[in-house]
Amino acid sequence: MRALYFIILFFSIHLSFAQDLFGRETLQKPNTKNQEVNITSQVKGILMVPDTDRAVPLVIFIPDQGVVDRNGNDMRSKHFAYKQLADSLLTNQIATYRYDKRTFTQVKNRRVDNNTTLEDFVADARKVIAAFSNDRRFSKIVVLGHGQGSLVGMLAAIENVDKFISVAGAADPIDQIIVGQIAQQQPGLDKVAKKTFDKMRAQEGNVEDIQPALQSILHPSVQPFIKSWMKYDPKKVIAELSFPILIIHGSKDRQIDVVNAQLLADSSDSAEVKVINGMNHIMKRVGDDEILASKSYVDPDYELSDSFIETVIQFIDM
């Protein structure tokens, strides 16, 4: 059930509580390189700024699906990919801001809001962008959306953004992605899933009659969020953006197929595509061995793809 891992990962919010994956929060003095910056009570993050007097680019990370913290970790993974990327950018005189998703904050505080929608994530991202838009320390604002964050970032980047980077973003609405993943793993069940999605689109309330095999994905308690997500077509959203866009995808991404990168690029007049050989969904360098590749999700010693880091830096500095 490898492909379904991507789907079920988000819904783990309903199953257990998160641990503090990044350690105790400490508020640091404003002029230090690492500064805790809370945008709202639910969106808390860390700003990393090079020790320089000149203005530098700022990259704002928009996280993937699930109960994700500022490091890119969730309850089932501990890869620290976002922190690794931020550290690499810092050494290249690029500032970053990365934050805990509101779902992570809710679970951490044991105050889960089951009414959370994709629009809430978009609103959070817009507030983050606005918080830094007039900061003279930064020469440009670059939004980097990873996975689900690709769509969220595109929806949020309506103003105050100079460039956008999509990493491992999907090109189709989420219901089509889920149906396609199910078709690969459980042929026949995909047709049942599609009918359920069609019902969800057609009626106001939840669909209560859910086949047991789909309960973890389409339980009535999570349908409001899924409905808020599936109404967006990333290809149409990216077509509305006019600033420079870089679409990056790994050749070893086992969650979102690499064909999505070109589909997104074909929908934009301002996008370029870079497929990183040997990179997986979490930007790590992996090989053909799937067992070893899966360890990259739980072992922070796995390194990010050097080619990925170089590609990001070149695009930012252009």
pLDDT tens by residue, 98-142:
999 999 999 988 888 778 999 999 999 999 999 999 999 999 999
| Residue 212 within any structural domain of the chain | no
Residue 286 pLDDT exceeds 90:
yes
236: domain CATH number is 3.40.50.1820
| Residue 216 within any structural domain of the chain | no
Residue 164 pLDDT exceeds 60:
yes
| Residue 253 within any structural domain of the chain | yes
Residue with tokens 């929908």: 267
pLDDT-based confidence at residue 204 (cuts at 50, 70, 90): confident
pLDDT-based confidence at residue 76 (cuts at 50, 70, 90): confident
| Residue 64 within any structural domain of the chain | yes
Distance set, CA 5 to CA 26, 98, 122 (Å): 33, 24, 24
Could you give the CA distance from residue 16 to residue 251 in angstroms, rounded to a whole number?
Answer: 32
Q: What SS3 state is found at 224? A: helix
| Residue 213 within any structural domain of the chain | no
Segments forming the whole domain that contains residue 88: 4-173+232-317
| Residue 296 within any structural domain of the chain | yes
Mean pLDDT for the chain overall: 89
Number of domains in the chain: 1
| Residue 199 within any structural domain of the chain | no
| Residue 299 within any structural domain of the chain | yes
**Partners of 249 in the beta sheet?**
275
Helix (H) / strand (E) element for 16: namely none
pLDDT at 23: 40
